[in-house]
Amino acid sequence: MSTQALLLDFLQFLRKPNTKPLIHHKKQALFLSFKLWLCLFVFIIFGGVFLDSLVDIPMHDRFEEVMEQIGIWGFVGFAVILGPFLEEIAFRLAMRFRLRNVIVGVTAFIAYMTQAASYLAEKMSANGTLYLYTFSGLLLVGFLILCVKYPSRLANWWTAHFPLVFYIASVSFALIHIFNFEEFPLRVVLLSPLITLPQLVLGFGMGYLRMRFGFWYGYFFHILNNGFAVSVYLLLQY
């Protein structure tokens, strides 16, 4: 598949997400995954330069804090290997319906979103965290009951409404990165769509690969992206 054909298929997929896989040899699928990452990365760089010329987009500031807590190698291992794996489980494992994958993926998704939102919940109310965890627990229990009692109906709904599933997961993946900020002034909140736009584009790419080639190709894309970003960050720091 040429680069042009790959990008055309990617854009058609975004216009109408579907569950149709593409059959390729593993080496070819890996190469296509790399090409897609490279194309989206270049797009993000040029798009970021253009947006930054129009609006002063704030940058998050928690990398140094995390490195102080777990050290450089712990930071590299988490940011490049473990973190992407957990995020792929939470945001993309459940995209293709298999009951076990959906249960694991949605459980991880709810846990991820709850943990991320707990900081804001604590700021909003003294009992905010309690309310948030109670709501998330009830939501998870309700979903698990649905999985056990009505698996066929859930499977049919999941497939019929796959575009909704895809975009909820992709947008949530992008927005979760706003919590890389330590504080949330009004400016960060208002600019959050622009701040998380790179993650949205990358999330689309990972979701596309997950559906076209399989879970591990989206994970490979994620490792490529985070590995490059961490390498550049460390080179600039040291």
Give the percent of the chain with pLDDT over 70: 90
pLDDT of 178-213, one tens digit each? Answer: 877 666 666 767 777 888 888 999 999 999 999 999
Band of residue 94 on the pLDDT scale cut at 50, 70, 90 = very high
- Tell me which of 1 and 30 has the higher pLDDT: 30
The residue segments making up the domain with residue 109 are: 26-54+82-237
Tell me, yes or no, if the pTM score tops 0.85.
yes
| DSSP class per residue in the chain | --HHHHHHHHHHHHHS---------HHHHHHHHHHHHHHHHHHHHHHHHHHHHHS-------HHHHHHHHHHHHHHHIIIIIHHHHHHHHHTGGGS--HHHHHHHHHHHHHHHHHHHHHHHHHH-TTHHHHHHHHHHHHHHHHHHHHHH-HHHHHHHHHHTHHHHHHHHHHHHHHHGGGGSS---HHHHHTHHHHTHHHHHHHHHHHHHHHHT-HHHHHHHHHHHHHHHHHHHHHHH-
- Predicted local distance difference test score (pLDDT) of residue 30: 93
- Predicted local distance difference test score (pLDDT) of residue 73: 86
- Count structural domains, the chain: 1
Whether 188 is in a domain gets the answer yes
Whether 170 is in a domain gets the answer yes
pLDDT of 123-156, one tens digit each? Answer: 777 788 888 899 999 999 999 999 999 999 999 9
- Tell me which of 122 and 54 has the higher pLDDT: 122
